Chains A and B, each alone.
Chain A
């Protein structure tokens, strides 16, 4: 669901691809259809092997999490593997009644638990027991993981999903003779979702938070960094959710989120592989047209006001140092989006990149350094970030200074002809390289179809990069990379690193407001 910094950079470089590689051939291979209920279906024929991949993109992510319910979009994503009325239950009629009781009992329990004044501990204990008993009753009807088992037993590969700030994606691959089975499973999952085993799965999600954020120094930094860089926009909250919210929200809340955002008009389903559009489209239509029509949700958010002073987050950790900085930039629809992509490529791509040559090769102060767009999302105004891992014996300040020298060069000097050519050639080649697998194709086509209303933008993006000039790069660098527009995130290493330390510093985890065991009122 979340990514480390290194892989983040790679992902965003990949989505920056663009080229006119054979658009005409793709025109022939791609069919798009919007159903009367508003759902967009996209089929891309790629008959290389008897398999296909799909990507279902729901245009809502953690930026849509309600107040006090951070983590809810991600929580629903987990629930989308829990089955339907016909998958995962031995007796749905009875299970339904039992699940309703769980919700009533949980509401009563949290109402008492979260009382500011006058909480009755004995009553609370009783309410908790009632809730847990209700869960045990509902669990009697569960066929565990039946949805996932069906997919696996049919040869499903890479069955997974992710949630980020901007969207939620579901994907897997199957042999091509299972296309109709897939269409059934995927439509049913969003037609009759049953949020069974919600509170147990919530504990799994809490473990995911511990894994990715609480027990990971870079995870801890990114959470605090986003919170500092964004004050008004929902990007300031973690996708995985704050611990107290994770211990608060209910299956009822998740269902409300689903009802509002998982509507056909807010979803694109793309299929790529050994399929014939004319055969497949009617099958998809048959299954997906059952999804009830509903209004496309309003996803406008508070606009982050301009930043007018540098902000800094400094974590004292037992781990090795890291330097990160981010500058606010407009969203992906900006006319300068391609310019930012060009800058990311110039600064970061390979051993010819400016940051590699300056920090790794010449100054020898970092093991790795890069810059990229898309922290923490791209749909709304976000950050262009730079980061570096200082080598042993070098400090975050040294790498920061070296990054700033390179930023100054961008502002003051034109880049060379060779550099510009390199950026443009690479964007074309990278696009071509991304077209050779079903999963990547389905993901990219669904994403471009959602973000631009037209999958062809995937190929047109290369033209936009091709039009970038040296003057554009200077202008955008001067507009964006300014001290007052900057948020800095640093990991400094505490003394007494690791084992045998007698200078046992304050436990970093306990410095965090979201430390799990203070979260909720367990």
Chain B
């Protein structure tokens, strides 16, 4: 503690010296700002919290602050969303919410609300990327009552299911609203570009991952993480530290240690450089973010980076602000720098918001400013201004006991030295022009940045593609599991771009069916099967033989008790040839739907999986039987179908699609079973069909012939025979 105070003292001297250098002698009556006297800043010894470590490993900081009759504090517990399972993204958010709202073993969350609110007190919990936390705030007279609740919530939470339900609904609400504002879209998608879409600091909860979270998961999280050896507790306010220490020791000293947490190795995979576009029709301003991976604060370059950031993309004095906002009037929001964090790399980003009509112009302006860093390095003058700004503002990092406490807790949490901040001004002071331009050259490479643009493409000054190849990012929200049945008409699950996982799964499906070479050699399929219709009156089996010539010819012959029915569908005709000799034309809609069916056939999709108009988007996970199937939305040249794919063996377990039932459009569902090798490829020989969730039929394949000889007459319309007399 004494060391700290001494260092801070030295710092004030440095700050004062900096100020004095800049300012000439004071005049009695100032007429310009340079003449204003700036006295030395009085010595300032910000109060340091007392650090206590209990025998069970819990670390406590106590910070007295007697200004107001209040006490506040928080406990930070190691482990956060960066270590939650990928199938349950959102788990730590749910945990952070329900930890408090779900109440304790003895009181419901509602009872806690009533008890605390009438005292204007708060006990709250939350989840973050690296930790979860629980905080309290109260008038000092209520501390003992409120602290009791704090301890109960910390140690004996109940996670009542009704509150998990509310938390899930709120999470779903956030998911549904996440594409409403361009700023939110840009922040989210640029983080994915900088860190990699699956990186735990970038990924987002989906309906399916929220649905997968159970009360038991919350209980398990608590049991794994909430142990004294993973906790840093800080309290500040109007109390006596010695008395408070006694109280806290009484509350926590006997709490046994828990097991160590597994090490959480996180990989960062920045996206390839280039242009990425999120089209948004309902805006007239574009958000531009050029992003790459930043660094951590224990990097020796950190101080030079801080000066660079201030000079290049910080405030009023920065190059970006002066060029893009002031000189060119292109943007209200502009700035950026090499981002840093304590625990993981920050995001390097350069950002501007500009009217649609100056989107490309603004990207080029940012380009120019970044490229100028080499031609026109940051000058001594700019560096001096940036350092003055940082050093003169340093006192604001310590200007309240709460801030000092929060800084200390952060260093403790991330394993930084306790005097890390004390060294900061001296380290900044040392930074020179060579350092700044070295870090600029080392980290900032325009050609390595991913450039994200969110905006209204039809208003752009030039197409984004005029700058280079553009990848369109699909931000459509994967629908909740099972929701497709209810509102398939409104859902727009038909993807227009593939995602990486979708393509990977499609490749697996192709491989599982026998490989692209064999599949694309299939021009026609002849099959015989037993089709059993399920009706309220019972099952009605019949034999059927079908011939499909890809991509758009179908002939089927069904044996009914009255005789054979032939169905023919081609782009030119669709009709049913009835046993009584009548030929019934199908309506256009039914014809179109049957042609779509051909395109939805797994053989057809698998054979065309690499066509430019066939897209696969993996969306989430759902159980089919005992298998955790991946959901893949497929757009097969305009025909929409959703697959449930076994990620282990690439088999399609189930598919859903819109089709036409006896009474109009219905949601169709087919479960595929009995996969067998057939003439060198693998196919499901048993299919269970449902319409609007009701069992409708099964198809059992008997024989399947590939590339049979097909008589073109099969698709010709017969001359109408006179109706047979009864």
- Residues of A participating in the B interface, judged by any CB pair closer than 8 Å: 21, 48-51, 81, 86-87, 144-145, 147-157, 159, 173, 175-178, 180-181, 184-185, 188, 197, 199-208, 210-211, 214-217, 274, 317-320, 349-352, 360-361, 364, 367, 389, 391-392, 418, 421-422, 425-426, 428-430, 432-433, 435-437, 495-502, 504, 507-509, 515-517
In the bound complex, do residue A86 and residue B32 qualify as a contact, i.e. CB atoms below 8 Å apart? yes
Is there a chain A Cβ closer than 8 Å to B441's Cβ? no
B355 near A155 with CB under 8 A, answer no
CB-CB under 8 A for A421 and B41, given A145-B326, A210-B355 = no
User: Closest B-chain residue to A180, C-beta based?
Assistant: B36
Q: Which chain B residues in 359-373 approach chain A with CB under 8 Å?
A: none
A–B Cβ pairs within 8 angstroms, 14 of them:
A49-B395, A86-B33, A144-B327, A173-B396, A205-B332, A207-B330, A207-B355, A215-B284, A217-B180, A360-B170, A389-B173, A392-B173, A425-B119, A509-B282
Q: B30, B316, B388, B492: which contacts A148 (Cβ < 8 A)?
A: B316
Minimum Cβ distance to chain B for residue A361 (Å): 6
B406 to chain A, nearest CB (A): 14
- B592 CB to closest chain A CB (Å) equals 15
B169-A204 in contact (CB<8A): no
- Chain B residue at minimum C-beta to C-beta distance from A360: B166
- Contact status B395-A50, CB under 8 Å: yes
Q: Is the CB of B492 within 8 A of A436?
A: no
C-alpha spacing A151/B15, complex, angstroms: 15
Q: Is B217 an interface residue (CB 8 A)?
A: no
Residues of chain B lying within 8 A (CB to CB) of residue A48: 67, 399-400
Are B37 and A180 in contact (CB-based, < 8 A)?
Answer: yes
In the A-B complex, the 3 residue pairs with the closest CB atoms: A155-B392, A148-B316, A429-B120
A152 near B315 with CB under 8 A, answer: yes
Within 8 A of A (CB), among B179-202: 179-182
Whole-angstrom distance between the alpha carbons of A287 and B389 in the complex? 25
**Which B residues fall within an 8 A CB radius of A?**
15-16, 19, 22, 30-33, 36-42, 44, 46, 67-70, 101, 109-110, 113-114, 117-121, 137, 139, 165-166, 169-170, 172-174, 176-177, 179-182, 279, 281-285, 314-317, 321-322, 325-333, 353-355, 357, 385, 388-389, 391-396, 398-400, 474-477, 490, 492, 494-496
Residues of A within 8 A of B331 (CB): 204, 207
Q: For B398, what are the chain A residues with a Cβ–Cβ distance below 8 Å?
A: 49
Contact partner of A507 (CB less than 8 A), chosen from B38, B120, B281, B490, is B281
* A418 CA / B119 CA spacing, docked (Å): 11
Closest chain-B Cβ to A507's Cβ sits at a distance in Å of 6
Cα distance A153–B172 when bound, in Å?
45
Interface pair A500/B476, CB less than 8 Å apart: yes
Tell me, rounded to whole Å, the shortest Cβ–Cβ distance linking A195 to chain B. 14
Give the residue of B33, B166, B177, B400 whose beta carbon is less than 8 angstroms from that of A150. Answer: B33
Report the Cα distance A297→B625, complex, angstroms.
77
Indicate if the CB atoms of B389 and A352 lie closer than 8 Å. Answer: no
| Cα(A425)–Cα(B315), bound, Å | 41
- Taking A176-B41, A428-B120, A429-B120 as known contacts, 10 extra A-B pairs with beta carbons closer than 8 A to each other, sorted by chain A number, are A145-B321, A145-B326, A175-B41, A178-B38, A200-B327, A207-B332, A210-B353, A350-B113, A426-B120, A517-B284
Complex: chain A residue closest to B392, CB-CB: A155
Q: What residues of B have a CB within 8 angstroms of the CB of A199 in the complex?
A: 329
Which residues of the other chain, B, contact A517 by a CB distance below 8 angstroms? Answer: 284, 357
Q: Residue on A with the closest CB to B119?
A: A425
Cβ-defined partner of B385 (8 Å) among A153, A504, A507: A153
Give the distance in Å from the alpha carbon of A206 to the alpha carbon of B15 in the complex. Answer: 39
Chain B's closest residue to A142 (CB) is B326
- Nearest A residue to B32 via CB reads A86
**CB atoms of A215 and B182 under 8 A apart:** yes
Cβ contact within 8 Å between A145 and B389: no
Q: Is B284 within 8 A of A210, CB to CB?
A: yes
Which of A50, A210, A426 is in CB contact (< 8 Å) with B117?
A: A426
Q: A360–B163 Cα gap in the complex (Å)?
A: 11
Q: Which chain A residues lie closer than 8 Å to B282 at the CB level? A: 215, 217, 317-319, 507-509
Question: Is A49 within 8 A of B399, CB to CB?
Answer: yes
**Given that A175-B392, A208-B332 are contacting pairs, would A515 and B181 also be in contact in the complex, using a CB cutoff of 8 Å?**
no
A204 touches B329 (CB 8 A): yes
Whole-angstrom distance between the alpha carbons of A499 and B492 in the complex?
8
Is the Cβ of A320 less than 8 Å from the Cβ of B315? Answer: no
- Give the docked Cα–Cα distance between A156 and B396 (Å): 9
Partner of A159, one of B22, B39, B316, B475: B316
